Amino acid sequence: DPAQAQAPTPTQDISEQHVPVLGRPLEVRVDERGVERAIRKLRRLMASEGVLREIKRRRHHEKPSVKSKRKLREAERRRKRRQRKARYERG
The structural domains of the chain, with segments of one domain joined by +, span 35-89
**What phi, psi does 10 have (nearest 5°)?**
-60, -35
The verdict on pTM exceeding 0.95 is: no
Distance CA 16, CA 8 (A): 10
Burial call 64-83: b when 16+ CB within 10 Å, e when fewer: eeeeeeeeeeeeeeeeeeee
Q: What is the pLDDT of residues 43-88, one digit of tens each?
A: 999 998 888 888 999 999 999 999 999 999 999 999 999 999 888 7
